[in-house]
């Protein structure tokens, strides 16, 4: 997908905006205190504090099967994984909140000199109902400059957006885990 215009970029961002981690409505449990005497956190709030934007979930992913027909001797038979269809479902890890992860990655970008931060621009744009002209007025820039800034910010967000499948690198695993997986396969 190319984000050639501000309208394409807004359409892309708006369609994926709901794939974010939601904030819980209740922060504390009623009539309960923690070990230090402070009000106890609700389960939803504690979970949101503990959960990372990089958290993953298992999902089915359809992939091509490269051997729909196998041969045993001279008799062809269907692949047991894809039953001769040529595609199969495999379980993969996907990011649970891909837009939250993209916004987190965008927040780490160094702010351009004398310009608003790209993550702020995206949030202001979403706050103003995806109306880039209203968002331009909110950040006090001319509409032409606002359009260029918003488009650049949405393109930066797009480049950091990743749903999955998640590939875990060998670097992220300990030496003993790498050895155990090598022996198992």
Q: What is the pLDDT of residue 58?
A: 81
Give me the pLDDT at residue 169, please.
55
Whether 13 contacts 1, CB under 8 Å: no
Q: Which two tokens stand for residue 26?
A: 């209740």
For 83-92, what is the mean pLDDT?
A: 78
Q: 69 pLDDT band (50/70/90 cuts)?
A: low
Please tell me the pTM assigned to this model: 0.68
CA distance 169 to 177: 12
Looking at residue 20, what is its pLDDT? 77
| 88, 65 contact by CB (below 8 A) | yes
Tens digit of each residue's pLDDT (9 = 90 or more) over 130-177: 999 999 999 999 999 999 999 999 999 999 998 876 765 555 666 677
């Amino acid at each position: 997908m190319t984000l050639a215009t501000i309208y394409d970029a807004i359409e892309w961002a708006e369609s994926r905006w709901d794939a974010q981690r939601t904030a819980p409505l209740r922060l504390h449990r009623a009539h309960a205190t923690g070990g230090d005497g402070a009000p106890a956190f609700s389960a939803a709030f504690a979970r949101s504090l503990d959960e990372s934007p990089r958290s993953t979930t298992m999902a089915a992913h359809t992939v091509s099967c490269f051997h729909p027909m196998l041969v045993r001797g001279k008799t062809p038979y269907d692949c047991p994984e894809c039953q001769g269809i040529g595609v199969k479902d495999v379980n993969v890890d996907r990011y649970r909140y891909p837009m939250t992860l993209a916004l987190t990655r965008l927040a780490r970008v160094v702010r351009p000199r004398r310009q608003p931060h790209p993550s702020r621009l995206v949030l202001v744009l979403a706050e103003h109902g995806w109306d880039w002209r209203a968002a331009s007025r909110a950040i006090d820039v001319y509409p032409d400059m606002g359009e260029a800034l918003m488009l650049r910010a949405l393109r930066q967000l797009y480049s950091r957006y990743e749903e999955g499948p998640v590939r875990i690198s060998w670097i992220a695993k300990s030496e003993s885990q790498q050895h155990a997986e090598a022996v198992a396969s």
